[in-house]
Amino acid sequence: MIYKATGWAAVLLSIVALYPSMQPGAYSVIGFYLCLFSLIIAAFASHMDRPIYFRGAIGISLVNILLVNDGTRASLLLGQSDWVYIGSMYGIFLVVVSICGFLVSRDLLISTLENHR
């Protein structure tokens, strides 16, 4: 029960992170890190229950990072000269998604193998 509540709280946090991501300046950075935090929480909740929480959080976070966030949206790559900042933020996002995705997929594979025995 605690993992279900934690998983839905992570999805809700990734939705709440959309608002500060739309704001210019430091608020967009706060929204970015809220997305990362929600992914970590969703990965641990999905680690013990179902991967639906991680899938929901990663979907909302991808929309946030690529389309909504004022500092990292993909349209900035065409006109902004600060590619180092955008690239480093995308790099941080990819590292967190890779680690969390590995955690969720590994446990999903282990539970599938145990069910087939």
- Largest separation between any pair of C-alpha atoms in the chain: 56
- Domain residue limits at 90: 2-115
pTM check: above 0.75:
yes
Q: What dihedral angle (degrees, nearest 10) is formed by the CA atoms of 99, 102, 103, 108? A: 160
How many distinct structural domains can be found in the chain?
1
Identify the pLDDT of residue 112: 65
Residues 43-91 have pLDDT tens digits of 988 877 678 889 999 999 999 999 998 888 877 777 766 788 888 999 9
Contacts of 33 (CB under 8 A, 6+ apart): none
Identify the pLDDT of residue 80: 66
